[in-house]
């Protein structure tokens, strides 16, 4: 969003897609996601972000075969919405999340780049910003994946692991946070039904 401070306090729903939508992280089986070694590594890298960045809290997330959804709370003060302290039970009602128009993904989420001007920043991405955290996550998972290809025989990937950029949405209320948590938790079941 133009003018929004992505280094300040806030709660965000992020989606990252694999380049070419390659299903490298596992498979869907009867409405559940079965992560393979790669998918487990991605989940571990996400959880480890709290050791790398101060002032962040991670919330509900899901590693899907060809994409990732997660909620992240940024800021040193109290977040505007509360992070989950326990696993959130999902609702069984169908839900379509409003997204910008672009190339549709299989689960109804649409990847777009971060809003705002796309200029080269003379000093790079701000430390602790959402963009910096996503850059680190993509970099760490890519390096881990390359290591897994060499050591564990994981399948290679073409060109790059992740699509360029990511999709994000600012979560502004407890009600919206609950809806997004449910959406994330229900993602494997919905994707299996497609």
1: in domain: no
Q: Which of 139, 138, 130, 136 is nearest to 171 (CA)?
A: 130
162: in domain: yes
88: in domain: yes
87: in domain: yes
Per-residue DSSP letter, 22: -
Q: Which of 181, 186, 184 is nearest to 81 (CA)?
A: 181
Instruction: Decide if pLDDT at 45 tops 50.
Output: yes
| Tens of pLDDT, residues 119-167 | 344 456 677 899 999 999 999 999 999 999 999 999 998 889 999 999 9
161: in domain: yes
| Tens of pLDDT, residues 81-121 | 555 543 333 333 333 333 333 333 334 433 333 333 333 44
What's the CATH code of the domain at 39?
3.30.70.1290
95: in domain: yes
138: in domain: yes
Q: What is the DSSP string of 51-78?
A: HHSTTEEEEEEEE-SSEEEEEEEE-SS-
Q: What is the pTM of this model?
A: 0.75
Tokens 């169908």 sit on residue: 94
> Which two tokens mark 28?
């869907």
What local confidence, expressed as pLDDT, does residue 185 receive? Answer: 97
User: What is the domain range of residue 67?
Assistant: 10-193
48: in domain: yes
Give me the number of domains the chain comprises.
1
């Amino acid at each position: 969003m133009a003018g929004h401070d992505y280094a300040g306090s806030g709660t965000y729903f992020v989606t990252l897609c694999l380049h070419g939508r390659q299903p490298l992280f596992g498979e869907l089986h009867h409405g559940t996601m079965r992560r393979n070694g790669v998918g487990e590594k991605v989940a571990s890298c996400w959880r480890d972000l709290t050791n790398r960045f101060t002032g962040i809290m991670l919330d509900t997330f899901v590693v899907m075969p060809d994409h990732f959804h997660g909620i992240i709370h940024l800021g040193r003060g109290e977040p505007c919405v509360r992070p989950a302290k326990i696993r959130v039970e999902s609702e069984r009602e169908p839900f379509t999340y409003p997204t910008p128009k672009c190339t549709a993904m299989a689960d109804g989420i649409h990847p777009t780049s971060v809003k705002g001007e796309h200029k080269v920043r003379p000093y790079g991405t701000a430390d602790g910003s959402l963009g910096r955290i996503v850059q680190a996550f993509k970099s760490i998972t890519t390096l881990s994946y390359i290591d897994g290809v060499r050591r564990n025989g994981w399948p290679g990937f073409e060109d790059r692991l992740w699509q360029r950029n990511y999709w994000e949405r600012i979560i502004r209320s407890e009600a919206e946070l609950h809806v997004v948590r449910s959406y994330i938790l229900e993602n494997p079941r919905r994707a299996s039904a497609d």
